């Protein structure tokens, strides 16, 4: 079989790679003035990539290194969407702090390319390739605000810790290869199914999972998250909190549900521990945060805990809950960050929770949107977040993970408290000085769209999303 | 089925109304009331229309796809109990709307009020009509949300905000617990459908998850119904407008909890746990609420505590776990709703017309508002359980039920006495409500002159009091069928005999009632004078629920969180790294521990003493490097080089000369480059913190590193002693000569088999060199490393001391001999490099090694003669080297296309050269030449970038900006 005959399966990736290089050139020749042009072209490229992804057929390419199926397509669309929105939301911030450069959107484009490769990985090699491509671009974006000490520190910290995690992943991959004799996902699955499970391969799996868990910032590999979220420029934080999470999560799903599915008993323990710790720590540590970006960091730790819990079920239902959760998480998070990015007073970004005081009286629509996002994250019906959690808990309970599910629900009670605190600050506290008006048009559009999604679109029209998630989840169970 | 449409309409109407209500003008009180009242009446009528079916014991169902795939359907299910609750909610809802029309002042923004009220009503309908447990939780949380908004309606006042927040936190947290409980419950029953769950009682009770599920469900129900120990939120919710209190705390919100208990009793009741958990919560609440109510000075506070107490009574009845108990509970739910709603309305009227709710300031109101007074009196009498009123009937049932023996425990035996005693307090506070407010001397100093309210404002209370009376006098004809309907839907065939007659003869419960009545009157008169001055209940005065709640909240959410964050969180990189590695280590150890990992073949390798010595040196170097890394970078770097050399020797030992050669030169060059970079880092750190702590830190780090290293070594050993998987190594060895024309397999792989990879790699190397250069061009050294370094100062001391010496003479003389040797070495090394390049295809060597070797020659020149001298004589600039290299490599690859072969296909032959003889001539050699050129260029470029720092920065202090531009090194490169 010639490895190249299916190359069209990678059309979105190839397109993005070419687009990134062309845009880089355009940027170089247009100089400072090119940022707006490059940025809009980047968004357009991501849009075209979505279109290309949707048109893909299913199959493998490059000697089974690369896989396209319903699940990967779904996740790719989500990642592309998240990245595109992140670029749209970044302009005003960077203009404000004076570093609106064409490199930023191009870097995001490259990171997204890495994500797509990650999602399509069907081999430990492809996995690593995509992961590193994504990470390298993201390190730079975290430190993009070069003159800011915090931003530089965030970038460096992210780089150091993430490289250690990548190293662990690579080490695990080499162990897996050493003990199982192959790096190909189908090959590994065949070997494990045949009962050939060496302890070394399990240790390899542990290391691979450790590296991947780091990327979704779940406990115990969460330490970098608050610092990086707080330090990185806010649009970058917005990007970090969604797109790479989707990609890394889908990578975990394809790793554990693909090659390592026969080892369910082993990884289930790991994932349950990760899920429980993440939900608890995400809820508790968030309680005393004063900085809303830090709060969102812990919130994303907790959210990832719930997603991992769904996955730990190891069932079709579980995978479906992961997909649903990621869709809803995307909307809630992007919306919240649109609000955070609009927190600007006399041309200066503010990011303390107390800055939101009395927002309801000054900017009622913005307050209402944030209220929807907060209640949704808290999992209070009838908002979308409730259904996200519902799916996860049902999957966990049906898989017999009673204790973990119960703990996670109780952790969500604690979590609800700090989300509600923000609502309280907005609605009940004495108004602080107003934010700059008008809110950027881009932000307003993002806020409106996501708020409408959280309520009422998702709660009312669940069927298409559920069906899509169902189809995506099925790929792992009906033979690809 | 018309019932389906009816059910949908009942549920949808309030929400539609809520939406509409929000659109009205801010002062449209009448329109809002018409709308809300209409909705409530319509719901009532619709529900009433379902009575025929309910009376037959039928169940109306409507279901629609809700969350497909989860097996969840949106089910509206109406049975007798749900029907009775719907009637109650809609009926009292209508009366409350009417009342609110007159209660709310024109200044209040009514659209918000009525919108929330209707949405709340809809959510309550949702709870009672849910045919699916998840859906029930869904509406449950909605009621929490809307009650939050209603309680906080007057959000200008701190009290309202606090009360609303507390209610939301307690009830929605309880709701989430309920959510968890319901998930477990549904799992045990195998379905979330209410019918299934109710039918699966036995399976649920015998399941091992029964107790956790029960506790979680109870947390939900007890928080909602303000049961001990969650009762504290309710009094603070009294900051709500009185219509809201009248609605939420009589017929709806708080009743949701007890409704749920009754609803789930067939599925979960009948166990010891139920009896004790539910029963004791109810009993404690009943007593505590009644006791506290007596000492309240606020009219609404009194009613709030009495609500708590009555809900405790209902909970106790449910907890007593008998069919008759359920009958009494359902009956009391209805009765309490009627009299408590009318009492709240009366309290609201008093507040509205006098301007105060303080019992101490009110008295003798009978003169001013006799009708309201009569209404309040009758309702309070019903609350106290006076005969001929509805409260009496359910209270009798309650007393009768407590007399029954349930499990024979001491508490069970004492129950009748305890509840009688508690009932005395019920009587006492009812009496106090009437006597202190309506009788006695005329009030003085009231904010307003009291008078009767508008007729229509009084009407709702009149209707409710009438209901109390009618039910109390002729229960069988009025409430009988309704109660029967509700009870049958819960108990099914097992409906016990019960009688609604007013007179049962002289029974023990009548005696208890009499005792309670007499005792209550006695208690009131005993405490009366003291009550007028007391500042709160004795014993409990200092136990302020709100303060405890706040303190717990602060402790948990703030102090504890901060403490935990201090322990487990850190912003410092080192602990973060340590955690990362430690967790990975532990996680990897776990499988070791669980399944013994014994390598498949434990062949003892033969160990040579010399080889072991090399390794000992290497390990010592590595340890030393780690030890010195933080304190003496130079030493650490040199030791690192030592470790590298040990590796190099290992390669030689294990017959990999090619690797060894590469390792050697790469090691040399990187060490030198790193040394050059060291100058810009801060100097050696002598002391950073007290030695003891340092020792501890370093010791632990050392142990940790040792453990990790040992673990990695063990794993590596285990992996290497396994039979290696089929790899492509054999393919390379076999085909290196036949297909690649070389006997040095490594080189053939690099330039031929994997030529494309190598091409990519050299491109990256070029990019790296350019990046390093570009970054260093803009490099601004830290202020402390700008001045002349210490070593140089030491060297210059002597020169400065002697006027006849010039600066730098010492260095020049010291470097004279080595400098000469270095200069002489240049051509030698260059020849070696060419030699390595040419022979690379067959023997150890190759473009990469040759390139690095060549770079070594340049480095030596830099060291011997200094930057300026070398750069004056550099004829071919690094960037050109790199460009040539890349073009050559790429061109070789493209050349293959001329022969219609794929990119980078190589060909080889032998070339006869006079004198030298036959040398192999593969096209790969050209490619290798490209590699060589690029490596030389890249290394020298990095070298230049580093070297220029010292040239620039020495002059920098004078005028940094000007220097940077004049010495922009790109100029020199072009």
Question: Up-side HSE of residue B349: CA atoms within 13 Å toward CB?
Answer: 32
Q: Report which of A177, A87, A85 is spatially closest to residue A127, judged by C-alpha positions.
A: A177
Interface test with B, best of A288, A418, A455, A459 (most B CBs within 10 A): A288
Put simply, whether A468 touches B (Cβ < 8 Å) is: no
Mean pLDDT over B792-805 rounds to: 78
**So what's the pLDDT on residue B963?**
41
How big, in percent rounded to 5, are the helix, strand and coil portions of chain A?
80, 5, 20
C-alpha to C-alpha distance for B778 and A72, rounded to whole angstroms: 43
Output phi, psi for B608, to 5 deg: -95, 140
Q: Is residue A208 part of a domain?
A: no
Mean pLDDT over B802-811 rounds to: 77
Q: Is residue A125 part of a domain?
A: no
Interface test with B, best of A143, A172, A203 (most B CBs within 10 A): A203
Instruction: Count A/B contacts: CB-CB distance under 8 Å.
Output: 179
Listed by number, the residues of chain A in 400-459 with a beta carbon closer than 8 Å to a beta carbon of chain B are 402, 405-406, 409-410, 412-414, 416-418, 420, 424, 427-428
**So what's the pLDDT on residue B969?**
43
The confidence band for B971, taking pLDDT boundaries of 50, 70 and 90, is: very low
C-alpha to C-alpha distance for B126 and B138, rounded to whole angstroms: 9
3-state secondary structure of B413: helix
Mean pLDDT over B813-826 rounds to: 86
- Are A266 and B591 a contacting pair at CB < 8 A? yes
3-state secondary structure of A60: strand
User: Which position has the higher pLDDT, B733 or A42?
Assistant: A42
Q: What's the total number of domains in chain A?
A: 1
DSSP for A422-468? HHHHHHHSPP-PPPPSSPPHHHHHHHHHHHHIIIIIHHH--HHHHHH
Name the residue of chain B whose CA is nearest to A468's CA.
B69
Mean pLDDT over each residue of chain A, to the nearest integer: 89
C-alpha to C-alpha distance for B51 and B57, rounded to whole angstroms: 10
Token pair, residue A273, equals 């521990």
Interface test with A, best of B69, B557, B728 (most A CBs within 10 A): B69
Q: B406 — alpha (psi -120 to 50), left (phi > 0) or beta?
A: alpha
Distance to chain B for A58, nearest Cα, Å: 24
Q: Is residue A277 part of a domain?
A: yes
Q: Report which of B156, B147, B148 is spatially closest to residue B108, judged by C-alpha positions.
A: B156
Interface test with A, best of B136, B239, B561 (most A CBs within 10 A): B561
- Within 8 A by CB and 6+ apart from A21, the residues are none
**So what's the pLDDT on residue A416?**
83
**So what's the pLDDT on residue B964?**
43
Nearest neighbour of A206 by CB, restricted to B134, B568, B587: B587
Mean pLDDT over B888-913 rounds to: 72
Name the residue of chain B whose CA is nearest to A150's CA.
B571
Report the percentage of chain A scoring pLDDT > 90.
Answer: 50
- Please state which of the ranges A111-115, A260-264, A301-305, B474-478 shows the lowest mean pLDDT: B474-478
| Cβ-contact B781, B678 below 8 angstroms | no
- Please state which of the ranges A465-474, B493-502, B829-838 shows the lowest mean pLDDT: B493-502
Res. B962: pLDDT tops 60: no
The 10 Å Cβ neighbour count of residue A158 is 24
Q: Report which of A300, A301, A308, A303 is spatially closest to residue A272, judged by C-alpha positions.
A: A308
Interface test with B, best of A136, A177, A200 (most B CBs within 10 A): A200
| Cβ-contact A267, A147 below 8 angstroms | no
Mean pLDDT over A350-363 rounds to: 87
Name the residue of chain B whose CA is nearest to A270's CA.
B587
| Cβ-contact B395, B490 below 8 angstroms | no
Mean pLDDT over each residue of chain B, to the nearest integer: 82
Nearest neighbour of A202 by CB, restricted to B139, B584, B591: B591
Residue A396, domain extent: 264-480
Distance to chain B for A207, nearest Cα, Å: 7
Assess whether the previous peptide bond of B861 is cis (omega < 30° from 0): no
Nearest neighbour of B576 by CB, restricted to A182, A223, A284: A223
Q: Measured between beta carbons, which residues in chain B are less than 8 angstroms from residue A387?
A: 67
Put simply, whether A179 touches B (Cβ < 8 Å) is: yes
- Are B70 and A390 a contacting pair at CB < 8 A? yes
Token pair, residue B897, equals 């296309």
Instruction: Write out pLDDT tens, residues A220-242.
Output: 888 889 999 999 999 999 999 99
Report the percentage of chain B scoring pLDDT > 90.
Answer: 13
Instruction: Write out pLDDT tens, residues B345-376.
Output: 999 888 888 888 888 888 888 888 888 888 99
Mean pLDDT over A362-369 rounds to: 88
Distance to chain A for B49, nearest Cα, Å: 29
Q: What ranges do the domains of chain B cover?
A: 272-440+454-538, 742-974
Torsion of CA B199, B203, B204, B210, to 10 degrees: 170
**So what's the pLDDT on residue A462?**
84
Q: Report which of A141, A139, A145 is spatially closest to residue A158, judged by C-alpha positions.
A: A139
Res. B396: pLDDT tops 80: yes
Res. B66: pLDDT tops 80: no
Nearest neighbour of A382 by CB, restricted to B142, B561, B597: B142
- Are A410 and B139 a contacting pair at CB < 8 A? no
C-alpha to C-alpha distance for A283 and A305, rounded to whole angstroms: 10
Name the residue of chain B whose CA is nearest to A469's CA.
B69
**So what's the pLDDT on residue B802?**
79
Report the percentage of chain B scoring pLDDT > 70.
Answer: 89
Sign of the dihedral defined by the CA atoms of residues B390, B392, B397, B402, in that order: positive
Distance of alpha carbon B135 from its chain centroid, rounded? 23
- Give the bridge partners for B610, in sequence order: none
| Cβ-contact B853, B829 below 8 angstroms | yes
DSSP for B548-613? HHHHHHHIIIIIIHHHHHHHH---SHHHHHHHHHHHHHHHHHHHHHHS----S--PPPP--HHHHH
The confidence band for A451, taking pLDDT boundaries of 50, 70 and 90, is: very high
The confidence band for B807, taking pLDDT boundaries of 50, 70 and 90, is: confident
Res. A2: pLDDT tops 80: no
Instruction: Write out pLDDT tens, residues A5-15.
Output: 788 899 999 99
Nearest neighbour of A223 by CB, restricted to B579, B592, B595: B579
| Cβ-contact B361, B442 below 8 angstroms | no
Put simply, whether A470 touches B (Cβ < 8 Å) is: yes
Put simply, whether A33 touches B (Cβ < 8 Å) is: no
Listed by number, the residues of chain A in 296-355 with a beta carbon closer than 8 Å to a beta carbon of chain B are 320
| Cβ-contact B951, B867 below 8 angstroms | yes
Nearest neighbour of A428 by CB, restricted to B137, B161, B212: B161
* Angle, CA of A328, A278 and A399, to the nearest 5°: 70
How far lies A372's CA from each of A164, A303, A365, B179, B573, in Å? Answer: 38, 16, 11, 20, 36
Question: Up-side HSE of residue B483: CA atoms within 13 Å toward CB?
Answer: 27
**So what's the pLDDT on residue B605?**
63
The 10 Å Cβ neighbour count of residue B529 is 9
Token pair, residue A83, equals 């990245």
- Are B597 and A200 a contacting pair at CB < 8 A? yes
- Tell me the three-class secondary structure of A134-168, residue by residue: HHHHHHHHHCCCCCCHHHHHHHHHHHHHHHHHHHH
Res. B63: pLDDT tops 90: no
Res. A434: pLDDT tops 50: yes
**So what's the pLDDT on residue B961?**
45
Burial string for B745-778 (b: 16+ CB within 10 Å, else e) reads bbbbbbbbbebeebbeebbebbeebbebbeebbe
Put simply, whether A136 touches B (Cβ < 8 Å) is: no
Put simply, whether A379 touches B (Cβ < 8 Å) is: yes
3-state secondary structure of B361: coil
**So what's the pLDDT on residue B602?**
54
**So what's the pLDDT on residue B542?**
63
C-alpha to C-alpha distance for A144 and A138, rounded to whole angstroms: 9
Q: In what helix (H) or strand (E) does residue A194 lie, and over which residues does it extend?
A: none
**So what's the pLDDT on residue A21?**
94
Token pair, residue B725, equals 């998987």
Q: Is residue A91 part of a domain?
A: no
Q: Measured between beta carbons, which residues in chain A are less than 8 angstroms from residue B564?
A: 284-285
Q: Is residue A247 part of a domain?
A: no
Nearest neighbour of A160 by CB, restricted to B139, B184, B573: B573
C-alpha to C-alpha distance for B730 and B829, rounded to whole angstroms: 35
Q: Measured between beta carbons, which residues in chain B are less than 8 angstroms from residue A154?
A: none
**So what's the pLDDT on residue A480?**
43
Name the residue of chain B whose CA is nearest to A158's CA.
B573
3-state secondary structure of B64: strand
The confidence band for B698, taking pLDDT boundaries of 50, 70 and 90, is: confident
| Cβ-contact A138, A127 below 8 angstroms | no
User: Which residue matches tokens 């023997």?
Assistant: B843
Q: Report which of A446, A454, A452, A455 is spatially closest to residue A340, judged by C-alpha positions.
A: A446
- Please state which of the ranges A126-140, A182-196, B193-207, B743-757 shows the lowest mean pLDDT: B743-757
User: Which residue matches tokens 């009758």?
Assistant: B378
Mean pLDDT over A372-397 rounds to: 89
Q: In what helix (H) or strand (E) does residue B62 lie, and over which residues does it extend?
A: strand B60-67
C-alpha to C-alpha distance for A225 and A215, rounded to whole angstroms: 10
Put simply, whether A155 touches B (Cβ < 8 Å) is: no
Res. A429: pLDDT tops 90: no
- Within 8 A by CB and 6+ apart from B472, the residues are B382, B387, B388, B389, B390, B391, B392, B393, B502
Token pair, residue B821, equals 């040797």
The confidence band for A345, taking pLDDT boundaries of 50, 70 and 90, is: confident
User: Which position has the higher pLDDT, B516 or B500?
Assistant: B516
DSSP for A86-102? HHHHHHHHHHHHT---T
| Cβ-contact A54, A77 below 8 angstroms | yes
Listed by number, the residues of chain A in 3-32 with a beta carbon closer than 8 Å to a beta carbon of chain B are none
User: Which position has the higher pLDDT, B631 or A109?
Assistant: A109
Mean pLDDT over A436-450 rounds to: 88
Tell me the range of B430-439, B488-497, B773-782, B911-920 where mean pLDDT is highest: B430-439
Nearest neighbour of A463 by CB, restricted to B68, B142, B212: B68
C-alpha to C-alpha distance for B378 and A448, rounded to whole angstroms: 54
Put simply, whether A167 touches B (Cβ < 8 Å) is: no
Mean pLDDT over B753-781 rounds to: 84
**So what's the pLDDT on residue B724?**
65
| Cβ-contact A83, A116 below 8 angstroms | no
Mean pLDDT over B811-817 rounds to: 81
Q: In what helix (H) or strand (E) does residue A266 lie, and over which residues does it extend?
A: helix A264-286
């Amino acid at each position: 079989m010639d490895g190249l005959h299916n190359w069209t399966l990678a059309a979105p990736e190839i397109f993005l790679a070419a687009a990134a290089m062309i845009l880089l050139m355009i940027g170089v020749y247009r100089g400072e003035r090119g940022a707006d042009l490059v940025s809009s072209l980047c968004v357009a490229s991501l849009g075209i990539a979505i279109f290309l992804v949707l048109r893909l057929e299913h199959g493998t390419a490059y000697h089974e290194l690369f896989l396209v199926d319903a699940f990967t397509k779904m996740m790719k669309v989500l990642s592309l969407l998240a990245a595109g929105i992140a670029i749209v939301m970044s302009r005003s911030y960077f203009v404000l702090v004076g570093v609106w450069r064409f490199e930023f959107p191009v870097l995001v484009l490259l990171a997204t390319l890495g994500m797509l490769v990650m999602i399509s990985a069907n081999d430990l090699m492809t996995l690593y390739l995509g992961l590193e491509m994504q990470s390298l671009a993201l390190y730079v974006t975290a430190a993009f605000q070069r003159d800011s000490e915090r931003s530089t520190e965030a970038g460096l910290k992210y780089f150091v810790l993430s490289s250690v995690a990548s190293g662990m992943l690579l080490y695990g991959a080499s162990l897996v290869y050493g003990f199982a004799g192959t790096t190909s996902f189908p090959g590994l699955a065949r070997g494990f199914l045949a009962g050939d499970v060496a302890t070394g391969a399990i240790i390899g799996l542990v290391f691979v999972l450790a590296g991947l868990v780091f990327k979704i910032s779940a406990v115990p590999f969460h330490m970098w998250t608050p610092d990086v979220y707080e330090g990185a420029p806010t649009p970058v934080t917005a990007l970090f909190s969604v797109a790479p999470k989707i990609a890394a999560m889908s990578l975990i799903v394809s790793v554990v549900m693909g090659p390592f599915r026969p080892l369910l008993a082993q990884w289930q323990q790991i994932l349950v521990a990760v899920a429980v710790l993440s939900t608890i720590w995400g809820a508790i540590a968030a309680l005393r945060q004063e900085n809303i970006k830090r709060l969102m960091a812990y919130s994303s730790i907790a959210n990832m805990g719930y997603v991992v819990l769904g996955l730990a079920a190891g069932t079709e239902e579980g995978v479906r809950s992961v997909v649903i959760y990621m869709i809803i998480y995307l909307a809630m998070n992007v919306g919240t960050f649109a609000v955070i990015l609009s927190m600007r007073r006399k041309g200066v970004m503010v990011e303390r929770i107390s800055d939101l005081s009395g927002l309801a009286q000054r900017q009622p629509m913005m307050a209402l949107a944030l209220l929807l996002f907060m209640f949704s994250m808290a999992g209070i019906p009838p908002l979308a977040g409730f259904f996200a959690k519902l799916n996860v808990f049902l999957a966990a309970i049906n898989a017999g993970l009673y204790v973990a599910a119960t703990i996670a629900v109780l952790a969500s009670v604690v979590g609800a408290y700090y989300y509600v605190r923000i609502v309280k600050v907005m609605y009940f506290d004495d108004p602080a000085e107003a934010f700059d008006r008008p809110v950027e048009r881009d932000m307003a559009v993002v806020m409106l769209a996501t708020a409408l999604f959280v309520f009422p679109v998702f709660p009312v029209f669940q069927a298409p999303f559920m069906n899509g998630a169902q189809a995506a989840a099925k790929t792992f169970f009906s033979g690809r | 089925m018309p019932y389906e449409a009816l059910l949908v309409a009942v549920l949808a109407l309030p929400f539609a109304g809520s939406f509409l209500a929000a659109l009205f003008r801010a002062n449209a009180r009448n329109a809002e009331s018409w709308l809300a009242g209409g909705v409530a009446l319509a719901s009532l009528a619709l529900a009433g229309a379902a009575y025929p079916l309910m009376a037959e014991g039928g169940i109306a169902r409507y279901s629609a796809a809700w969350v497909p795939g989860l097996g969840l359907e949106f089910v509206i299910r109406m049975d007798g109990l749900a029907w009775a609750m719907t009637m109650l909610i809609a009926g009292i809802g209508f009366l409350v709307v009417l009342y609110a029309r007159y209660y709310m002042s024109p200044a209040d923004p009514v659209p918000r009020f009525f919108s929330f009220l209707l949405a709340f009503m809809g959510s309550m309908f949702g709870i009672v009509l849910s045919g699916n447990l998840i859906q029930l939780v869904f509406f449950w949380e909605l009621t929490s949300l809307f009650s939050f908004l209603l309680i906080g309606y007057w959000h200008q006042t701190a009290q309202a905000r606090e009360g609303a927040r507390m209610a939301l936190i307690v009830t929605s947290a309880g709701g989430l617990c309920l959510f968890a409980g319901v998930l477990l419950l549904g799992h045990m029953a195998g379905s979330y459908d209410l019918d299934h769950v109710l039918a699966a009682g036995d399976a649920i009770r015998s399941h091992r998850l029964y107790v956790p599920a029960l506790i979680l469900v109870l947390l939900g129900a007890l928080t909602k119904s303000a049961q001990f120990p969650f009762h504290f939120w309710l009094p603070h919710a009294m900051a709500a407008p009185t219509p809201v209190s009248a609605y939420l705390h009589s017929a709806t919100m708080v009743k949701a909890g007890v409704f749920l208990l009754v609803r789930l009793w067939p599925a979960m009741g009948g166990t010891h746990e139920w009896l004790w958990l539910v029963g004791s919560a109810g009993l404690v609440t009943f007593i505590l609420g009644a006791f506290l109510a007596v000492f309240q000075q606020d009219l609404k506070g009194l009613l709030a505590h009495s609500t708590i107490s009555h809900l405790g009574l209902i909970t106790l009845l449910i907890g007593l776990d008998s069919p008759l108990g359920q009958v009494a509970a359902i009956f009391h739910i209805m009765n309490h709703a009627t009299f408590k709603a009318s009492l709240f309305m009366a309290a609201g009227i008093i507040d509205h017309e006098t301007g105060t709710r303080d019992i101490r300031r009110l008295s003798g109101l009978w003169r001013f508002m006799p009708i309201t007074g009569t209404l309040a009196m009758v309702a309070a009498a019903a609350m106290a359980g006076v005969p001929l009123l509805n409260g009496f009937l359910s209270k009798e049932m309650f007393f009768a039920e407590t007399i029954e023996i349930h499990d024979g425990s001491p508490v069970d035996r004492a129950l009748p006495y305890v509840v009688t005693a508690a009932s005395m307090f019920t009587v006492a506070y009812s009496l106090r409500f009437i006597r202190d407010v309506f009788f006695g001397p005329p009030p003085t100093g009231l904010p307003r002159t009291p008078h009767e309210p508008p007729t229509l404002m009084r009407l709702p209370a009149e209707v409710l009091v009438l209901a109390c009376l009618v039910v109390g006098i002729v229960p069988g004809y009025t409430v009988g069928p309704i109660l029967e309907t509700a009870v049958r839907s819960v108990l099914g065939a097992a409906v016990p005999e019960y009688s609604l007659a007013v007179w049962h003869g002289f029974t023990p419960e009548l005696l208890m009632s009499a005792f309670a009545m007499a005792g209550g009157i006695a208690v009131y008169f005993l405490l009366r004078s003291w009550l007028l001055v007391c500042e709160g209940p004795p014993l409990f005065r200092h136990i302020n629920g709100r303060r405890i709640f706040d303190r717990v909240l602060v402790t948990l959410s703030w102090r504890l969180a901060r403490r935990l964050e201090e322990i487990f969180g850190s912003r410092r990189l080192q602990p973060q790294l340590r955690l990362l590695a430690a967790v990975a280590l532990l996680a990897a150890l776990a499988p070791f521990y669980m399944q013994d990992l014994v390598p498949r073949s434990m062949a003892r390798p033969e160990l040579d003493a010399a080889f072991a010595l090399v390794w000992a040196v290497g390990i010592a170097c590595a340890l030393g490097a780690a030890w010195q890394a933080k304190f003496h970078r130079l030493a650490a770097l040199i030791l690192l080089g030592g470790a590298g050399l040990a590796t190099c020797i290992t390669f030689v030992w294990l017959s990999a000369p090619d690797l060894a050669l590469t390792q050697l030169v790469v090691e040399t060059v990187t060490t030198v480059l790193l040394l050059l970079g060291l100058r810009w880092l801060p100097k050696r750190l002598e002391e950073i913190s007290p030695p003891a702590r340092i020792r501890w830190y370093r010791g632990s780090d050392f142990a940790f590193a040792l453990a990790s290293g040992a673990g990695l070594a063990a794993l590596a050993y285990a992996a290497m002693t396994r039979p290696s998987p089929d790899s492509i190594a054999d393919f390379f060895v076999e085909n290196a000569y036949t297909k690649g024309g070389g006997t040095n397999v490594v080189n053939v792989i690099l330039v031929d088999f994997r030529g494309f990879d190598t091409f990519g790699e050299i491109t990256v190397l070029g990019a790296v060199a350019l990046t390093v250069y570009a970054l260093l061009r803009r490099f601004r050294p830290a202020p402390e490393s700008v001045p002349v370094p210490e070593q140089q100062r030491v060297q210059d001391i002597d020169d400065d001391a002697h006027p006849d010496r010039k600066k730098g003479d010492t260095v020049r003389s010291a470097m004279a001999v080595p400098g000469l040797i270095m200069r002489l070495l240049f051509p030698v090394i260059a020849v070696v490099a060419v030699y390595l390049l040419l022979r690379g295809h067959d023997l150890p060597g190759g473009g990469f090694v040759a390139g690095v070797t060549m770079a070594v020659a340049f480095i030596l020149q830099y060291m011997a003669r200094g930057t300026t001298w070398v750069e004056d004589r550099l004829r071919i600039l690094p960037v050109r080297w790199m460009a040539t290299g890349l073009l050559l490599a790429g061109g070789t690859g493209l050349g293959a296309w001329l022969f219609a072969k794929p990119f980078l296909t190589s060909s080889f032959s032998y070339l006869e050269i006079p004198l030298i003889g036959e040398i192999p001539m593969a096209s790969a050699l050209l490619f290798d030449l490209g590699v060589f050129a690029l490596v030389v260029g890249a290394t020298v470029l990095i070298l230049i970038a580093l070297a220029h720092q010292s040239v620039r920065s020495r002059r920098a202090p004078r005028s940094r900006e000007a220097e940077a531009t004049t010495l922009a090194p790109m100029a020199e490169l072009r």
